[in-house]
Amino acid sequence: MPEQNQRSDFKWLNKLAPCFAVNGNNVKVIETPKEFYSTLLNCIQNVNKRIVLSALYLGTDELDKQLVNCLNERIKEKGTELDVDILLDYTRGSRGEINSRTLLAPILKENPSNSIKISFFHTPSLRGVVKSCLPARWNEVVGVNHIKLFIFDDTLVISGANLSTNYFEQRQDRYMSFTNAKSLADYFQALTKTVSSFSFQLQPNGELKLSEECPHHPVTGNFQEYAAYVRTRMQPYSLPYSYEDNKSQSILQDWNPFRILFNKFFPAVTPQICENMSNDNVSSISPAQFAIKSDCDDCDTFIYPSLQLGCVGITQDENLTKTLLKLLPENTQTYFTSGYFNITNEYSKLILDNKSQFDILVASPDANGFLGSAGVSGKIPSVYVQLTKNFFDQVAEKKRNDIKIWEYMRPKWTYHSKGLWFYDKGSDLPCLTMLGSSNYGSRSVHRDLEAQITLVTTNTGLMKQLHQERVNLFKHARPVTQSTFTKPKYAVTRWVSFATAILRHYF
């Protein structure tokens, strides 16, 4: 039975998320952007029954167009036999005259079928005067669909990467495929269809129309009614939630006057967050107990999906991440990474207070995705330098010599990977990893729609893959020291340093 192969020290995960048991031999770590792209093309060309694509946006360069052409050709070949669901973000997918909508609309024109649905999620936080005043690109800071997953029949590919040429060439992310994983693929397909049910639907003429299933408009309707509807629809995929009107537990609890003003326009539901977690009382986090769904008799790998949409009070991923960071045992090794290192104050505190040794990999200024951006956004790499410096100082203040910070530096490459790898006492191989869309920052927790998985395995081959993945990323790393911040490229102007306290909640 799968339960017999579960690691007892991580069984508490069964209280926080659904569990899917698979054979580790059917799990593959994809190492490079080019391999990621070729995997997508190959899967599309051979798919027979269903395709699910979820990302922030679809790019408009040649590789992106080739992907769309490949998709369109396969849809024409299979006809109504192929169930197609594509989920992107409303604001990012509508940016510019040529965008995700203009690239995908021809598929609907050329293949009139009820089996094709192309949806665009619109955050309910972008409304009123803010929606009217914020221009394209800047309106994306309010919140977006950030889920990155791709399903082809019974194969799932999960990643933090978008469907864009830079993610297919020289933008390093993480990617993992699961074959013969029907139950896991079913879960994520159902999740995508559910999100689509309260999103906007692309029409053949390129216009967007709110799903007829959704009784509450995310922009012009009542925020609380829409939020309650979303929570109800998402209930089967995450835990029950309890709510209380307690300002001290606001999901936007980091105080500053700008956020108080901003939140007048962005109402939020207040979730009750679990505190004082331990192995002894973790069962009290929720009365829910998910059954393990298995696709094999010799399962040795367990997948726990977790979701986050903080603006409406869905905080499953946050609760799971906080619990994991709190319960990591002493004398163990944890590697943690985020291409946009802006972890929340709670996550920072849990890492600083934890007795596991941490090596943290961040993007260097040259590897930051905002490098070279025009206008104010060109200063964002400096914001992340300041955030890294702030955490570096906290580590020094705590005298945690076993917490080390590294930066990813690779000529002509940018860095977008996120997640962690956990090595148990005395082990040279990781038995747990977290992978998905979350950057573990304020916007991942409070604003964006996120999904990631926590994978626990006893499969030695898979553990070796995870270890090699981690090693390959750290090959391009160099340590961050006090002298790092004295170099010219790490200089942060006074106004950027001041603004970081505000900007960190939106990037």
Q: Which residues are catalytic?
A: 146, 148, 153
Question: For strand 333-338 and strand 116-121, is the pairing parallel, antiparallel, or unpaired?
Answer: unpaired
Greatest alpha-carbon span in the chain: 63
Give the DSSP letter of residue 254. Answer: S
Spatial distance between the Cα atoms of 337 and 347, rounded to a whole number of angstroms: 13
Q: Are 307 and 314 in contact (CB under 8 A)?
A: yes
SS3 155: strand
Spatial distance between the Cα atoms of 164 and 166, rounded to a whole number of angstroms: 6
Strand partners, 158: 149, 176
Give the DSSP letter of residue 488. Answer: G
Q: Are 421 and 470 in contact (CB under 8 A)?
A: yes
Spatial distance between the Cα atoms of 158 and 304, rounded to a whole number of angstroms: 13
- Collect all residues with Cβ–Cβ distance below 8 Å to 128 and sequence separation of at least 6: 265
- Collect all residues with Cβ–Cβ distance below 8 Å to 192 and sequence separation of at least 6: 52, 54, 85, 87, 147, 149, 151
State which H helix or E strand residue 232 sits in: helix 223-234
SS3 478: strand
Show the tokens assigned to 325: 């960071």
CB burial of 374-396 (b: ≥16 within 10 Å; e: otherwise) equals eeeeebbbbbbbbbbbebbebbe
Q: Report the Cα 391 to chain-centroid distance in Å.
A: 22
Spatial distance between the Cα atoms of 103 and 240, rounded to a whole number of angstroms: 38
